[in-house]
């Protein structure tokens, strides 16, 4: 099952400590309307292209599960009135190998998440399993944005559909795209853009039952679930044992109306 790259770019940072490569301060990009514009794939110098292919080949040799599937990079962000414009370009996952090529252009991914809240106020977060690119990391259900396969537009509606698919694949909860609410947009490590939605609340018992049913079905089919555990957080990511996604603390604070440690920008 080639699922290692199905949710996010591969970890191609080598042995560089996480704190040393996370110099970007998380920003919350205020907006209530998203506009997505397709852009050209950034051109690479011949030497960067050669180095990218070499790094990718070495990564695949070390981990044969890596798959050079379709992905999206964010090439620019700007505000146009009330609309946050996200420029994107279609690539494949090998493009993220540029993060290990000296002097290469910055590569910023685009991903979606869904905050599945409970009917008493908490939010479900999941811990990535050992088969994923970031084992042990706590995050909201979600994954990297993929370009539409049928040539249709990549817009807010498509982002919502992909977010609902991730929620179903990772937690077993099925939500309708039109029922999602745009919660926040963040820019974090490597300039990665996160589009975060919120699903209608459900009883905690229902979500846990659906997650257990999903885990059992995946196990019976010989697959490793993408999340090995889910839990409800109500207030701070400090409640979690282990690493968490860079956006998680800021969004949880935002949800409860507490102090927001992230930077804010309206571009």
Q: What is the pLDDT of residue 10?
A: 58
Q: What is the pLDDT of residue 14?
A: 38
User: Which residues lie closer than 8 Å to 248 by C-beta, 6 or more apart?
Assistant: 125, 138, 139, 140, 237
Are 139 and 113 a contacting pair, CB within 8 Å?
yes
Q: What is the pLDDT of residue 19?
A: 29
pLDDT mean for each 10 residues of the chain (267 residues): 45 37 74 94 94 95 88 95 95 95 94 96 94 91 92 92 97 98 95 97 97 96 94 89 94 73 55
* Predicted model pTM: 0.88
Q: What is the pLDDT of residue 11?
A: 55
**Type and span of the H or E element at 54:** helix 46-62
* Residues linked to residue 84 through DSSP beta bridges, in sequence order: 34, 79
Q: What is the pLDDT of residue 253?
A: 87
What are the chain's domains?
26-258 (3.90.79.10)
**Type and span of the H or E element at 258:** none
Q: What is the pLDDT of residue 13?
A: 43
């Amino acid at each position: 099952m080639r699922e290692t790259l199905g949710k996010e770019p591969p970890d191609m940072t080598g042995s560089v400590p996480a704190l040393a490569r996370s110099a970007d301060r998380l920003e919350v990009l205020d907006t209530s309307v998203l506009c997505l514009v397709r852009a050209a794939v950034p051109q690479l110098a011949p030497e960067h292209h050669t180095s990218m292919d070499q790094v990718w080949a070495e990564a695949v040799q070390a981990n044969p599960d890596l798959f050079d599937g379709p992905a999206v990079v964010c090439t620019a962000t700007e505000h146009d009135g009330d609309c946050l414009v996200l420029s994107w370009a279609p690539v494949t996952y090998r493009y993220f190998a540029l993060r290990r090529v000296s002097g290469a252009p910055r590569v910023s991914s685009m991903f979606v998440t869904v905050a599945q809240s409970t009917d008493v106020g908490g939010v479900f977060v999941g811990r990535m399993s050992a088969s994923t690119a970031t084992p042990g990391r706590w995050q909201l259900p979600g994954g990297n944005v993929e370009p539409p396969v049928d040539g249709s537009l990549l817009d807010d509606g498509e982002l919502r559909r992909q977010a609902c698919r991730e929620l179903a694949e990772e937690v077993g909860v099925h939500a309708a795209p039109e029922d999602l609410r745009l919660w926040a947009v963040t820019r974090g490590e490597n300039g990665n853009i996160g589009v975060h939605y919120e699903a209608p609340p459900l009883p905690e018992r229902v979500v846990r039952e659906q997650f257990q049913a999903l885990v059992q079905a995946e196990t019976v089919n010989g697959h490793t679930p993408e999340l090995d555990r889910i839990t409800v957080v109500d207030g701070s990511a400090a409640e979690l044992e282990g690493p968490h996604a860079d956006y998680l603390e800021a969004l949880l604070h935002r949800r409860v109306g507490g102090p927001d440690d992230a930077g804010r920008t309206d571009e």
